[in-house]
């Protein structure tokens, strides 16, 4: 059934055409006809080789309209900072006890935040958290004394991105139930953030291709000249 739906979605798309961001989002929304609220995603092919440290693209962006996803947040903190995290809505808060749970297999969260003094404990979880893209990082604002602010940002729809081996970055920009204008503004915020994160080692064309799609739908190519 999924294969038939995907084929039908491609039938009304000119795969050789490049659409404006507004047109592409409109097509993705109209083709998102599953019986659940599909996630709308954006992917960007970048002219970088992330294996070189001066070509890594990584960052964080606040989506103007959130992502429609309920973020589960874990925080490593003690005492007053732990209470701040709980008050801000963190789902899991702990110290050595939380580290023990993670080593035991607990990974039921989408973001991990830590106060700087907890990094000695968190550092020992590098192999577990790193492979899941959950390792706290000061550059992403997830190692910070301002845990309440970091929790609030994560819950509000802040998105982290990182270039994969082939130089591709991607993110969810909302749900099919979002308005077209909300999706367009979220997509524009993501594109702008990635464009501004161009690393010093990137040569030539930086943003080579942009596409938007839904969970079960076809990828639609966006005209980069229109979107950037």
Let me know whether 222 and 116 are in one domain: no
pLDDT(14) > 90: no
pLDDT(129) > 70: yes
Does the residue 9 lie in any domain?
A: no
pLDDT in tens, 26-57: 999 988 888 899 999 999 999 999 889 899 99
Cα 4 to chain centroid distance, Å, stands at 29
> Length of the chain in residues, anyone?
228
Q: What CATH code is carried by the domain that includes residue 97?
A: 3.40.50.790
pLDDT band at 187 (very low <50, low <70, confident <90, very high): very high
CA 24 to each of CA 49, 57, 142, 155: distance values in angstroms, whole numbers, following the listed order: 27, 25, 33, 27
pLDDT in tens, 141-176: 999 999 999 999 999 989 999 998 889 999 999 999
pLDDT(9) > 80: no
What's the number of domains the chain is made of? Answer: 2
- For residues 115-135, give the mean pLDDT: 94
**126, 155, 184 - which closes a domain:** 155
Q: What is the pLDDT of residue 208?
A: 95
Let me know whether 77 and 151 are in one domain: yes
Q: What is the pLDDT of residue 8?
A: 57
């Amino acid at each position: 059934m999924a294969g038939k739906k995907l084929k039908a979605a491609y039938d009304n798309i000119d795969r050789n055409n490049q659409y404006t961001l507004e047109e592409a989002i409109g097509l993705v929304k109209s083709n998102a006809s599953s019986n659940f609220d599909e996630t709308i995603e954006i992917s960007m092919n970048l002219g970088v080789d992330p294996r070189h440290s001066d070509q890594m693209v990584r960052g964080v962006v606040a989506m103007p309209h959130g992502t429609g996803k309920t973020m589960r947040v874990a925080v490593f903190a003690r005492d007053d900072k732990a209470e701040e995290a709980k008050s801000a809505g963190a789902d899991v808060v702990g110290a050595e006890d939380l580290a023990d749970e993670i080593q035991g297999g607990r990974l039921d969260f989408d973001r991990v935040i830590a106060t700087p003094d907890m990094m000695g404990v968190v550092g020992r979880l590098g192999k577990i958290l790193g492979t899941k893209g959950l390792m706290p990082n000061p550059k992403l604002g997830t190692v910070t004394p301002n845990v309440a602010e970091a929790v609030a940002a994560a819950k509000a729809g802040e998105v982290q991105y990182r270039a994969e081996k082939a130089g591709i970055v991607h993110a969810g920009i909302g749900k099919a139930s979002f308005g077209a204008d909300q999706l367009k503004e979220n997509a524009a915020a993501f594109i702008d953030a990635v464009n501004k994160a161009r690393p010093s080692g990137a040569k030539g064309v930086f943003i080579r291709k942009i596409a938007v799609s839904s969970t079960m739908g076809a990828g639609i190519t966006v005209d980069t000249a229109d979107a950037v």
